[in-house]
Structure 1
Amino acid sequence: MDRLLRERARALRRGMTKAERCLWQQLRAHRFMGLKFKRQKPLGRYIVDFVCLERRLIIELDGGQHAEQFVYDERRDCWLRTQGFDVLRFWNHEVLLQTDAVLEGLRLWVEEKRPSPPTPLPQAGEGS
């Protein structure tokens, strides 16, 4: 099963959709906020479109077929959330026609989830 899943992921990387290629150009090589993304990555029994393991973020791009497979997608997203991931979904046409807006949505998500810097400890003599 693992071997078949890896082979399927490899095939999906070779045959990315136009929307996936468009977003990948923005995410690859730490181009987006210095974060490392992987594409068509097996997680459990699923293959996710894009994942940033550091931020536990999965990005899924949906074409028209996802309107009919809502129940499957919901079950899949639920399992991924139980593994500690957040799943953001965008329609293919959003990525192709509103790339900047999609990237801004991702940026806002990252900023919201970024841990706050630790409060500095008081210097000697302060706060007593």
Structure 2
Amino acid sequence: MPEVLVWRELRKRPGGFKFRRQHPLSELVLDFACLECRVAIEIDGRIHDHGDRPERDLRRIAYLQSRGFEVLRLPASFVLKDLSGAIQTIVAACNGRLPLHHQPAAGGPPPRSGEVLKEAK
């Protein structure tokens, strides 16, 4: 249920970001992902606190980070209590990852064909 609520909001492209639901990545399937910002969003129910789930989640986070993703884990209880706050948290995480591509330092390589870089003032 929390995933359905989040998806209803993410489909509206909050913050101008495009999100994917149930996005496959190698052997994993992410609850949600913003590929532009490389943010993986996981909605965690209480099951994630039991058994071997905490260790599995840590391995999953390490793997995703090795692939350049920031992992945002939101408790399902938070989503159900404050959907607006959850969406704001997601958008803030995406904003925090921009820009992924920085302008080269002075004396760095020239822009590729078709790229236009703004002059520093």
Same fold by TM-score greater than 0.5: yes
Q: CA RMSD in A?
A: 2.2
Aligned length: 105
Residues 49-88 of structure 1 correspond to what in structure 2 (within 5 A)? 49-68=31-50, 69-88=53-72
Residue-by-residue CA offset, 1:71-123 (whole Å, 9 max, x unaligned): 00000110011011110000111111111111221222222222298684269
Query: Higher helix share goes to which structure?
Result: 1
Instruction: State, as a whole percentage, how many aligned pairs show the same letter.
Output: 33
Q: Are 1:48 and 2:35 an aligned pair?
A: no
Residue 89 (structure 1) aligns with = 73
Residue 10 (structure 1) aligns with = none
The letter for the 2-side match of 1:79 is: Y
TM-score by length of 2: 0.77
From the CA coordinates, give the structure whose radius of gyration is larger.
1
TM-score by length of 1: 0.73
The letter for the 2-side match of 1:121 is: E
Q: Are 1:107 and 2:105 an aligned pair?
A: no
How far apart, in 2, do the equivalents of 1:91 and 1:45 lie?
A: 23
Residue 3 (structure 1) aligns with = none
Q: How much does 1:47 deviate?
A: 0.8
